[in-house]
């Protein structure tokens, strides 16, 4: 009888264990099916103009949909304040951000902050990098080559020995600096005269450009980033000069002005890819910390004729899905 009782008890216990196993496995399977890991990621970009980052944001949004994350997109209130971006970065990490995607506003002054942040959470740099940092992935097009290409475009499309002004601004950003290097190198062996129009800190860009156009007549103005190019557009529009404008960038305003002939040619990078890959990388770095090499995205050179070619129009006018 005692043996019998024991047997029944053992079987009942086994039955309970079996039930528990069944329920827990069932819940686990359902859980893994339904639960999405919503990792909080912060995207910190320079500047205060959200239009500038539309395409990058589209890429990030697509990646968010594909991989699942909660993305906080942060703009600055000023254009180039390293201190503000540092504070923004620190605040995001404090608020529980598990990964940072950053377009560095000041390559030299942000280096230490970025390096420190990378010890806490994975950091991916896009478009502009910080100088001398280790083990941080940088996703960008080859800025030097972009500079080289816009230089070639100027050389090929403008009249012979034209006088070219480079509107230089925000050289503290590595991207702009490298483009400048590439651009200058493209004119190394030409007869063209290159002048640098460097905006002083307190100058108003519009005023400055208008003044320079008047005081230092040139055939071509080249701008090396989106905001500078938009400023050049504003300055050139309405003037009766036959100035040719070239530049790097692809905001809707730039594209529109390329279409309307204000700009002759642009070089632009695939910022959709940049955004998509940056989120993909930051998420994979949260899970496995590995020294992945820098990622290069493509860039293209288009003018008014080539911008509507099927292969280009898909990148120049991204379909908003």
Partner 1 sequence: MKAKIIKLLQRAVHYYRHKSIQFTLSISFTLVALTGMGFMGTIIYSRFISSTKEIIIGNNKQVIEQVNLNLNIYLRNMMRISNAMYYSVIKKIDLSNESLDKEMNLLYEANKDNLVSIVCFRSNGSLVAATPINNLKKNLHVTKQNWFVKANQEIENLHFSTPHVQNLFHDSSFNYHWVISLSRVVELTYNGNINRGILLVDMNYSGIEQIFAKVNSNNSGYVYLIDSNGEIIYHPKQNLINSSLLHENNKVAATYKDGTHEEDFEDEERIVTVRTVGYTGWKIVNVTPAKEFYMSYNQMKFFTGMIIALTIFLITFAIQFVSYLISNPLKKLDDSVKDLEYGKLDLNIYIGGSYEIQHLGRTITSVVLQMHELMKEIVIEQEKKRKSEFESLQAQINPHFLYNTLDSIVWMVESERYQEAISMVTALASLFRISLSKGKNIITIQEEIEHAQNYLYIQKIRYKNRFQVKIDIASEIYECSTIKLIVQPLLENAIYHGVEYMDGEGEITIKGYLKDEDIYIDVIDNGLGMPEEEINLILRDNTRVHKKGSGIGLSNVHQRIQLYFGPKYGLLIDSELDEGTTVHIHLPRVKYNGNTLNGEEDS
| Site residues, partner 1 (CB under 8 A) | 4, 7, 11, 14-15, 18, 22, 25-26, 29, 58-59, 62, 66, 252-253, 255-256, 259-261, 270, 272-273, 276-277, 298, 308, 310, 313-319, 321
Minimum CB–partner distance for residue 60 and partner 1 (Å): 12
* Alpha-helix residue ranges (DSSP H) falling in 68-139: 82-94, 111-120
Q: Of the two residues 54 and 190, which places its CB atom closer to partner 1 in the complex?
A: 54
Helices (H) and strands (E) counted in the chain, each on its own, are 11, 12
Q: Of the two residues 6 and 214, which places its CB atom closer to partner 1 in the complex?
A: 6
Sheet of 295-296: strand order equals 69-74, 39-44, 99-102, 123-126, 137-140, 295-296
Q: Of the two residues 169 and 253, which places its CB atom closer to partner 1 in the complex?
A: 253
- 265-269 and 299-303 beta bridge pairing: antiparallel
Q: How many C-alpha atoms does 98 have within 13 Å on its Cβ side?
A: 16
Q: CA–CA separation, 111 vs 113, rounded Å?
A: 6
Question: Residue written as tokens 């216990």?
Answer: 13
Tokens for 59, please give them.
Answer: 């890429």
Q: Of the two residues 185 and 298, which places its CB atom closer to partner 1 in the complex?
A: 298
Minimum CB–partner distance for residue 38 and partner 1 (Å): 17
Minimum CB–partner distance for residue 309 and partner 1 (Å): 10
Helix or strand holding residue 148 (H, E): helix 143-157
CA 174, 179, 183: angle at the middle one, nearest 5? 150
Question: Which 8-state DSSP code applies to residue 292?
Answer: P
Question: Residue written as tokens 């971006």?
Answer: 85
Q: Of the two residues 92 and 244, which places its CB atom closer to partner 1 in the complex?
A: 244
Q: Of the two residues 173 and 253, which places its CB atom closer to partner 1 in the complex?
A: 253
Q: Of the two residues 72 and 252, which places its CB atom closer to partner 1 in the complex?
A: 252
Q: CA–CA separation, 87 vs 114, rounded Å?
A: 11
Minimum CB–partner distance for residue 250 and partner 1 (Å): 12
Minimum CB–partner distance for residue 11 and partner 1 (Å): 5
Minimum CB–partner distance for residue 265 and partner 1 (Å): 16
Minimum CB–partner distance for residue 316 and partner 1 (Å): 8
């Amino acid at each position: 009888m005692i043996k019998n009782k024991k047997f029944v008890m053992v079987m009942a216990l086994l039955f309970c264990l079996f039930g528990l196993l069944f329920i827990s496995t069932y819940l686990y399977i359902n859980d893994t099916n339904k639960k999405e890991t919503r990792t909080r990621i912060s995207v910190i970009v320079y500047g205060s103009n959200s239009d500038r980052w539309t395409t990058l944001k589209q890429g990030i949004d697509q990646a968010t949909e594909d991989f699942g994350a909660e993305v906080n997109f942060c703009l600055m209130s000023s254009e180039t304040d390293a201190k503000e971006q540092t504070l923004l970065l620190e605040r995001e990490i404090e608020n529980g951000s598990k990964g940072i995607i950053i377009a560095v506003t000041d390559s030299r002054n942000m280096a230490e902050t970025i390096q420190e942040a990378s010890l806490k959470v994975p950091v991916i740099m896009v478009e502009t990098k910080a100088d001398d940092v280790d083990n941080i992935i940088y996703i960008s097009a080859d800025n030097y080559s972009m500079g080289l290409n816009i230089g070639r475009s100027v050389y090929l499309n403008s009249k012979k020995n034209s006088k070219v002004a480079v509107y230089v601004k925000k050289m503290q950003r590595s991207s702009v600096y490298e483009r400048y290097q590439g651009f200058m190198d493209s004119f190394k062996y030409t007869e063209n005269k290159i002048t640098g129009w460097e905006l002083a800190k307190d100058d108003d860009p519009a005023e400055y450009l208008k003044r320079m156009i008047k005081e230092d007549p040139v055939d071509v103005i080249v701008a090396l980033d989106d905001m500078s190019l938009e400023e050049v557009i504003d300055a050139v529009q309405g003037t009766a000069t036959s100035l040719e404008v070239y530049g790097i960038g692809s905001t809707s305003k730039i594209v529109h002005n390329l279409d309307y002939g204000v700009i002759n040619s642009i070089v632009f990078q695939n910022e959709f890819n940049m955004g998509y890959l940056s989120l993909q990388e930051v998420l994979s770095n949260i899970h496995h910390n590995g020294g992945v090499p820098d990622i290069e995205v493509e860039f293209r050179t288009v003018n008014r004729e080539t911008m509507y070619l099927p292969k280009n129009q898909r990148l120049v006018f991204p379909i908003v899905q």
